[in-house]
């Protein structure tokens, strides 16, 4: 069984923590591990589990690789989507890739950003689904609803699928899109409806056969994109021209709603898609007044609130049912009753061309990270951290000069025609237009302060001449 982790979401409803360049699946929202890492860790203990396959946006590739490395996973596959095309094309690619070695494994398709509290119940549901999947059924997991939620699709359970299978495995009578409040309440009251989790288990060959029947254009595009794919470091890079030709459909619409082989296994395991701040508050541990806090937080006469302090002390007094999220460059304060308005804030940021919709002040790169600690007219100050053995690209700038001051560690610097070491409390100056590079030859992180000065300080003023990570 191959875990196929879909990691293409943007998570904009959890702004300002979740942003386009580092969305929620890469954030430690529930504990000290990211949502992606928790998704993989909760699989531990399942039998016959192969190395995972992660399908992600090209912009996120180095974060995925680093977070998988932290888990010490053996030979995971990372497939890069050049553009988002919804779940059906991504799963089609995964099925084709899984069968390249001549095998026909089961594919356990999971989202990278869900939360599940009861791991034994989760494993039990998967084990109940395995015999059905081996018989050629397309298994979806229906979440036992805890409320009349209008933000989820619903699945109506049919009759028992097969007397040879577990009694809990039922046919799917119908899929429903997100209902209004009254309809959702009717669904829950009937006991026949379950939330659509977006998690699946099926044989790779069966999924491809059904896709070929109902959505052959998706299979054709996936085949071409994989046939022309290139291997880039740890990544399988799909062919852009071929992949963009695929229809953009969900696996539900492309196959599950049309297939006579769709079955459902109920899952009652404390599942959540962690889709908004109020939902995150619901799944977190709380104090005796219902408050969930992370970071340096002081509360006085507050109830049922979520407060996240990333950088500074945050004090909240006399507020109930609120969300307060502080980051290095933005603060969100909202009533939980109006928390869906976050998407309107994100839309406004996009319309204004604000960088806060895409980037955090702290930006991660394959070689480490940088934090833009200050900026003004014609200057910018960054705190740069370079991992041991890592190297920034050989590059030059048309509009800015740079001053580097090493705080700790050692830097191997190329500055024009010279190459030399810069150690703690030493500095160097890179004039405008000079070819340069920065490398950490040591065994501890390299910390330095970079002061940029010039007429234009944008990140696009980088001419890369060489790059060990294959960036242009």
Residue 472 has pLDDT above 80, yes or no: no
Residue 29 has pLDDT above 80, yes or no: yes
Residue 332 and residue 325 in contact, taking contact as beta carbons nearer than 8 Å: yes
**353 belongs to a structural domain:** no
**356 belongs to a structural domain:** no
pLDDT at 274: 94
Among the three residues 289, 311, 346, which one is the final residue of a domain in this structure?
346
Please tell me whether residues 338 and 397 are part of one structural domain: no
Please tell me whether residues 215 and 100 are part of one structural domain: yes
CA 129 to chain centre: 26
Strand bridging mode 271-272 / 115-116: antiparallel
**472 belongs to a structural domain:** no
CA dist 292 and 30 (Å) reads 11
Q: What is the pLDDT of residues 321-360, one digit of tens each?
A: 999 999 999 999 999 999 999 999 999 999 999 999 998 9
Please tell me whether residues 260 and 282 are part of one structural domain: no
Sign, CA torsion 325/331/336/338: negative
Q: How confident is the model at residue 101 (pLDDT cuts 50, 70, 90)?
A: confident
Report the 10 Å Cβ neighbour count for 111.
20
Q: What is the pLDDT of residues 411-457, one digit of tens each?
A: 999 999 999 999 999 999 999 999 999 999 999 999 999 999 999 99
Please tell me whether residues 210 and 339 are part of one structural domain: no
Q: What is the pLDDT of residues 167-180, one digit of tens each?
A: 889 999 999 999 99
Among the three residues 346, 374, 403, which one is the final residue of a domain in this structure?
346
Counting runs of H as helices and runs of E as strands, what totals does the chain give? 11, 30
**173 belongs to a structural domain:** yes
Quote the domain boundaries for residue 392: 362-466
**446 belongs to a structural domain:** yes
Residue 163 has pLDDT above 80, yes or no: no
**354 belongs to a structural domain:** no
Please tell me whether residues 186 and 88 are part of one structural domain: yes
CA dist 149 and 430 (Å) reads 57
Task: Give the gyration radius of the chain's Cα atoms.
Answer: 25
Q: Is the peptide bond before 424 cis (omega within 30 degrees of 0)?
A: no
pLDDT at 65: 92
Q: How confident is the model at residue 269 (pLDDT cuts 50, 70, 90)?
A: very high
pLDDT at 167: 84
**99 belongs to a structural domain:** yes
Number of domains in the chain: 3
Record the pTM: 0.91
CA dist 80 and 61 (Å) reads 7
Cβ partners under 8 Å of residue 120, min gap 6? none
Mean pLDDT along residues 212-217 = 96
Please tell me whether residues 69 and 187 are part of one structural domain: yes
Please tell me whether residues 259 and 309 are part of one structural domain: no
Residue-by-residue DSSP string for 221-261: HHHHHHHT-EEETTEEE--HHHHTTS----HIIIIITT-TT
CATH number of the domain that 368 lies in? 2.60.120.10
**241 belongs to a structural domain:** yes
* CA nearest neighbour of 92 among 226, 191, 193: 226
Q: What is the pLDDT of residues 222-231, one digit of tens each?
A: 999 999 999 9
Please tell me whether residues 201 and 289 are part of one structural domain: no
Please tell me whether residues 236 and 175 are part of one structural domain: yes
* CA nearest neighbour of 446 among 405, 417, 414: 405
Please tell me whether residues 229 and 298 are part of one structural domain: no
Please tell me whether residues 400 and 252 are part of one structural domain: no
pLDDT at 333: 98
CATH number of the domain that 13 lies in? 3.90.550.10
Please tell me whether residues 327 and 259 are part of one structural domain: no
Among the three residues 346, 378, 393, which one is the final residue of a domain in this structure?
346
Give the whole-number percent of the chain exceeding pLDDT 70: 100
């Amino acid at each position: 069984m191959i875990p196929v982790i879909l990691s293409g979401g943007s998570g904009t409803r959890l702004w300002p923590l979740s942003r386009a360049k580092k969305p929620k699946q890469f954030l430690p929202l529930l504990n000290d591990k990211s949502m992606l890492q928790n998704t993989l860790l909760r699989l531990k203990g399942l039998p016959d589990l192969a190395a995972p396959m992660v399908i992600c946006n090209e912009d996120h590739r180095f974060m995925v690789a680093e977070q998988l490395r932290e888990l010490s996973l053996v030979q995971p596959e990372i497939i890069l989507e050049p553009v988002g095309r919804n779940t059906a094309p991504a799963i089609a690619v995964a099925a084709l890739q899984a069968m390249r070695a001549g095998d026909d494994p089961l594919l356990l398709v999971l989202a990278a950003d869900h939360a599940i509290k009861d791991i034994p119940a989760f494993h039990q549901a998967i084990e109940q689904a395995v015999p059905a999947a081996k018989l050629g059924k397309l298994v979806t997991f229906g979440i036992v609803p805890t409320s009349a939620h209008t933000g989820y699709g619903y699945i109506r359970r049919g009759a028992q699928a097969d007397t040879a299978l577990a009694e809990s495995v039922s046919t799917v009578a119908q899929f429903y899109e997100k209902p209004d409040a009254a309809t959702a309440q009717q669904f829950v009251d009937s006991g026949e409806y379950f939330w659509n989790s977006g998690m699946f288990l099926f044989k790779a060959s069966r999924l491809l056969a059904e896709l070929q029947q109902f959505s052959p254009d998706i299979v054709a595009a996936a085949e071409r994109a994989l046939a022309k794919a290139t291997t880039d470091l740890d990544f399988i890079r799909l062919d852009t021209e071929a992949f963009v030709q695929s229809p953009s459909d969900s696996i539900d619409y492309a196959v599950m709603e049309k297939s006579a082989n769709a079955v459902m296994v109920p899952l009652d395991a404390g599942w959540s898609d962690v889709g908004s701040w109020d939902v995150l508050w619901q799944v977190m541990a709380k104090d005796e007044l219902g408050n969930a806090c992370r970071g340096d937080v002081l509360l006085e006469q507050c109830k049922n609130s979520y407060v996240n302090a990333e950088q500074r002390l945050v004090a909240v007094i006399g507020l109930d049912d609120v969300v307060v999220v502080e980051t290095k460059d933005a603060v969100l304060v909202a009533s939980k009753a109006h928390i869906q308005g976050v998407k309107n804030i994100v839309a406004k940021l996009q319309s204004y061309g604000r960088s806060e919709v895409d980037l955090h002040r702290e930006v991660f790169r394959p070689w480490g990270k940088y934090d833009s600690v200050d900026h003004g007219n014609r200057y910018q100050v960054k705190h740069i951290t370079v991992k041991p053995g890592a190297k920034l690209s050989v590059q030059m700038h048309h509009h800015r000069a740079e001053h580097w001051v090493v705080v700790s560690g050692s830097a191997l610097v190329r500055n024009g025609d010279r190459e030399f070491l810069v150690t703690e409390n030493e500095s160097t100056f890179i004039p405008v237009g000079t070819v340069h590079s920065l490398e950490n030859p040591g065994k501890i992180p390299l910390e330095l302060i970079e002061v940029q000065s010039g007429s234009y300080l944008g990140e696009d003023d980088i001419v890369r001449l060489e790059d060990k990570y294959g960036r242009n």
